[in-house]
Structure 1
Amino acid sequence: MKILVVEDNESVCSMLEMFFIKEGYQGVFVHNGQDGFDHFNKDKWDLIILDWMLPIMDGVTLCRKIRELSQVPIIMLTAKDSDSDQVLGLEMGADDYVTKPFSPLALMARIKAVTRRYQTEATEKTEAHIVTSQYFKVNKDSREVLFNGQPVTNLTPKEFDLLYYFVKYPKQAFSREQLLDRVWGYQFYGDERTVDVHIKRLRKKIRTPDQSFIQTVWGIGYKFDETVFTNED
């Protein structure tokens, strides 16, 4: 697997390089955002790891620019731990984030999970890739969403994946752990707020004045239900 790492902390790069060698990964390390974007354009990558705080071009901007051109998996490294910062990175198209300081073993698990999910999506042939409901039509191949026949174009990649999963399994209650496992593709090594943040943003993008569609199931998690009228945030 070929991984581009854009990280200005050389000690972090050295640590990752050792773990990459152990796992059999080919890592290329650059230390500012502009070099990262140049390397992204020069080659094909299986995964990109971006630091949030980078010289010349910050990681969030770089993530956005890459995502405009490619659906390559992106993991962000960040020392910022607030929900708003995490949301910003995810909205720019990152698939996951790891908060510094981090365990290299945990990052390796994230790398394997994210790439496994992408590989699974690429090789699935029998699964129905278009799911529909009363209000929604979600096309997994084209990554298109129709709500009441109108396109929804402002979903991040992970918000799209969540909506697809909810529409596919309506009225089923899922715990945060289940959603992390089935949508993110791994048992999450960290904060379950990741699910809450995505649900909150997705609700705002698909709600109507009467319905939010994604319901909180107290003590369990969330479910998708088009028959419940609520003003839930």
Structure 2
Amino acid sequence: MTRTQPIVLIAEDEESFIEVLTLGLKREGFLVEAARDGEEALRKFEEFRPDVILLDVMLPRKSGLDVCREIRLHSKVPIIMVTAKSTEIDTVVGLEVGADDYVAKPYRLKELVARVRAVMRRTPMEPDSSTKQFETIEVGDIILDTSKHEVKVRGEVVKVPLKEFELLEFLISNPGRVLTREQIIDRVWGPYYSGDTKTLDVHIKRLRSKVEIDPSDPKVITTVRGLGYRLETSR
């Protein structure tokens, strides 16, 4: 699935900066998500898989430097460190932990947007799902091969159309986690999908017919009433 607009994650605890950045970036054609502390930044990174991160160094709960280190363990997403400080040592530390660029407050919005576009041009777009960096994903009786676009269930290859494959890939990359209907639709059909949400239920039903021993009593893809769906890790 190709996004129509790039997503920027703003990790910033000052509301005034969040408001200005959100308005400015949206005006420039970006989608924007905001996190007010380091822990939330990591959660939103996993949830939204942004195309670039504006990461304040001084965040509550977990510093921007620590957030950058953790993200760099498994992602090359462009990261621009933002700080109220401008000393050389801060810049060096930020770049050493994996940041792509570094700006100091106060900054001009036009300059920041230019830097965002520059780091995105230098860095290849990452897949929407973190699992696409691996060739195969295995959970329980299911093996999903992203390079071959192939699914095996209990050792047998099953034919899975593109949307069902993307849906299964999102579920299997989050084993044991409840994924809301909104999260699934945004990831698989895109944030601007305006069709019938029952489409998701139809695709879930079709997937169950291929991965469940008894589709009428699902044990693999379960429904969490009022929330969404979960791929079970133990059965």
TM-score, scaled to structure 2: 0.50
User: Which residue in 2 is equivalent to 1:179?
Assistant: none
Q: 1:84 aligns with which of 85, 89, 95?
A: 89
1:152-181: CA deviation from partner (whole Å, max 9, x where unpaired): xxxxxxxxxxxxxxxxxxxxxxxxxxxxxx
Matches of 1:50 and 1:21, distance apart in 2: 18
Runs of 4+ in 1 over 2 A off after TM superposition: none
SS at match of 1:53: coil
User: Which residue in 1 is equivalent to 2:115?
Assistant: 110
Matches of 2:120 and 2:41, distance apart in 1: 20
Matches of 2:49 and 2:26, distance apart in 1: 19
Cα distance, 1:119 vs. partner? 3.9
1:35-88: CA deviation from partner (whole Å, max 9, x where unpaired): 001111223211011001000001011111111110000001011211111110
SS at match of 1:29: strand
Give the partner amino acid of 1:17.
Answer: T
- Matching of residues 71-220 of structure 1 within 5 Å: 71-119=76-124
Corresponding position: 1:14 with 2:19: yes
Aligned residues: 122
Corresponding position: 1:2 with 2:7: yes
Give the partner amino acid of 1:18.
Answer: L
Q: Which moved more, 1:41-50 or 1:102-111?
A: 41-50
Q: Which has the larger radius of gyration?
A: 2
What RMSD over aligned residues (CA atoms) do the two structures have, in Å? Answer: 1.8
User: Which residue in 1 is equivalent to 2:38?
Assistant: 33
User: Which residue in 1 is equivalent to 2:69?
Assistant: 64
Matches of 1:16 and 1:43, distance apart in 2: 18
Give the partner amino acid of 1:39.
Answer: K
SS at match of 1:24: coil
User: Which residue in 1 is equivalent to 2:48?
Assistant: 43
1:85-105: CA deviation from partner (whole Å, max 9, x where unpaired): 111010000000111111111
Unaligned runs of 5+ in 2: 1-5, 128-235
Matches of 1:18 and 1:94, distance apart in 2: 24
Cα distance, 1:27 vs. partner? 0.4
Cα distance, 1:24 vs. partner? 1.0
Give the partner amino acid of 1:20.
Answer: L
1:191-221: CA deviation from partner (whole Å, max 9, x where unpaired): xxxxxxxxxxxxxxxxxxxxxxxxxxxxxxx
Matches of 1:111 and 1:43, distance apart in 2: 17
Report % sequence identity. Answer: 42
SS at match of 1:57: coil
SS at match of 1:55: coil
User: Which residue in 1 is equivalent to 2:147?
Assistant: none
